Amino acid sequence: MEPVEIDSGRHNPGVDPGLHIWGWEIPVYLFLGGLVAGLMVITAMAELRGGRPRSPILRMAPFGALVLLSLGMGALFLDLGHKLYVWRFYMAFRPTSPMSWGSWILVLVYPVGILHGLGSISDTARASARRRLGRVGGWIVGGATFADRVRAPILWLSLVLGAGLGVYTGLLLGTTPARMLWNSAVLGPLFLVSGLSTGAALLLLFPMDDGERHQLARFDAVAILAEMSVLGLYLVGLGSGGAPQRAAAATLLGGAWTAPFWGLVIVLGLVTPLALETIEQRLGRPFTRLAPMLVLIGGFSLRAILVAAGQDTSFRLFP
Amino acid sequence: MTSKRYAMVVDTRLCVACKACVLACKAENDVPEGYCRDWLVEEVRGRFPDLRAENRSERCNHCTNAPCVGVCPTGASHIAEGGVVLVTAAKCTGCKACMAACPYDARYVTPDGYVDKCTFCLHRVQRGEEPACVAVCPTHTLHFGDLDDRESGVSRLLTERDFKVNHPESGAEPNVFFLT
């Protein structure tokens, strides 16, 4: 290619010399959103298959998910430039905008999560709430009784909304053709399986019933394998694309972001915890919290690296 | 009502990169200090002594298939009269999805927090005037008009001369054309 020298008079803050519009807030939101999606899907799926969970942490998870989601939405709010106009998200539904889908999914997650959580409260906890919390306890028990009646549809809604939330966090980036590293619909399933894996990992950090821990660790191993496969497909898709896609892939395969991506995401976040979980399960070694912690570090790194690296992979690389 | 498709034609053979268009835009639109809605790109290609230079006055391309409008969650980014892409500040949350989607990086977040960019000076055009950058251009590099009118200056220039657009591979169908 012949040499090109470009002298641009544009120096807009946040845009030049390279786009930098999204800082730490967006990866934090994408990570927590994925985590919440994982928690919703895992807890709903577990109960649809095997009945009410035994471990308190699994019964608390729907409420915990809402707390994490609120933190994530807080991060998202901090990122907004025009904060006082945040309500504008809810004055429109724009079917072509993933962010619009996400805004409405987030609103639906709250009532479903509350009903999911209320229905998960154990009978002893309900009795104790009625005894100790007076009128509030009565409301909680009333809500829980109502949640019991709509349990099956709520679990299915949790499953579907959780999957939607997970996929949307990926499509938020994936539907942006102007940033080549993001321009892949595979980011939808990638962020979903990563969310499932980080959701399982977060639960594994807490004490729980041995049988449920065993099931969850196995689920996490399968999710990690799925994530590795989808990540492989994502890189194949970019690497076999046109020049812009190949240039984007090069940032992770030899370029500036290679070391953090392979070190933090692949080795530390996927390969190592998969090996540790396999050793623990196959050789009957005692469970440690190292593998889940590494999965969480890897899940956050994946989003942080893609958000940071992707902003710079634009058409301006091809004058 | 007859349809209109506003476009800008930039004659790269006449541009001397004086930046009058940039200053006129800043003055006309109260563009915040340190920001610009249009800018000059001076490009040199080849190896010495076989060099080719080109000056381009660039701005938002007011794309027919505008990605910024599609991703906007609130409808703040929208297509107005003549296909001009505008941002309604009172609907903009500053989420920056449009900035991520713009193939030309033509948008910026104002110090007030909302996203802004070139409007083709639609407020002037509606009064029957040319956009400020076109009006001040001392070399008649910049032309503005309606592509749906086959007799308009811009239509004739695109019929008579060779032209290109920036990054046609984006699929956005930009409406700023560069005569070569």
A13 touches chain B (CB under 8 A): yes
How high is the ipTM of this complex?
A: 0.92
Q: For residue A317, is pLDDT > 90?
A: no
Residues of A in contact with B92 (CB under 8 A): 81-82, 85, 88
A14 touches chain B (CB under 8 A): yes
User: Which residues in chain B have Cβ-Cβ distances shorter than 8 Å to A85?
Assistant: 90-94, 114
Residue A74 reports pLDDT greater than 90: yes
A interface mutation test: which of B25, B59, B74, B91 has the most A CBs within 10 A? B74
Q: How far apart are CA A84 and CA A106, in angstroms?
A: 19
Mean local confidence (pLDDT), A226-230: 97
CB proximity under 8 Å: A 146-205 to B: 172, 175-179, 182
User: Torsion angle of alpha carbons A234, A240, A242, A246, nearest 10°?
Assistant: 70
Which of A4, A89, A94 is the closest to B43 by Cβ? A4
pLDDT, one tens digit for every residue, chain B (180 residues): 568 999 999 999 999 999 999 999 999 999 999 999 999 999 999 999 999 999 999 999 999 999 999 999 999 999 999 999 999 999 999 999 999 999 999 999 999 999 999 999 999 999 999 999 999 999 999 999 999 999 999 999 999 999 999 999 999 999 999 999
> Do β-strands B176-179 and B6-11 pair in parallel, antiparallel, or remain unpaired?
parallel
Mean pLDDT of A20-42: 97
CA–CA separation, A205 and B60 (whole Å): 50
Spatial separation of the C-alpha atoms in residues B108 and B32, rounded to whole Å:
11
CA distance A17 to chain B (A): 11
Which helix or strand (DSSP H or E) is residue B67 part of?
helix B67-71
DSSP lists the bridge partners of residue B47 as B50
B 44-63 residues with CB below 8 A of A? 44-47, 58
Phi and psi at A283, nearest 5°, equal: -95, 5
- Given a contact cutoff of 8 angstroms between Cβ atoms, the answer to whether B107 and B92 are in contact is no
Residues B48, B130: Cα–Cα separation, whole Å:
39
> Do the chains contact at A178 and B73, CB–CB below 8 Å?
no
- Other C-beta atoms within 10 Å of A296: how many? 20
What the block records as the tokens of B176 is 């700023």
Domains (range + CATH), chain A: 25-317 (1.20.1630.10)
pLDDT, residue B2, reads: 67
Contact at CB, A19 and B35, closer than 8 angstroms: no
Q: Is the CB of residue B93 less than 8 Å from the CB of residue A85?
A: yes
Look at residue A288 and tell me whether its pLDDT is greater than 90. Answer: no
The pLDDT value given to residue A287: 81
What contacts 24+ positions apart, CB below 8 Å, involve B107-113? B107/A15, B107/B60, B107/B68, B108/A12, B108/A13, B108/A14, B108/A15, B108/B35, B109/A13, B109/A14, B109/A21, B109/A81, B110/B32, B110/B35, B111/B32, B112/A82, B113/A80, B113/A81, B113/A82, B113/A83
Per-residue pLDDT tens digits for A182-220 = 999 999 999 999 999 999 999 999 999 998 999 999 999
Average pLDDT, chain A: 93
pLDDT, residue A318, reads 81
Residue carrying structure tokens 């399982």: A200
Q: Phi first, then psi: give them for residue A31, nearest 5 degrees.
A: -70, -50
Domains of chain B: 6-63+118-179 (3.30.70.20)
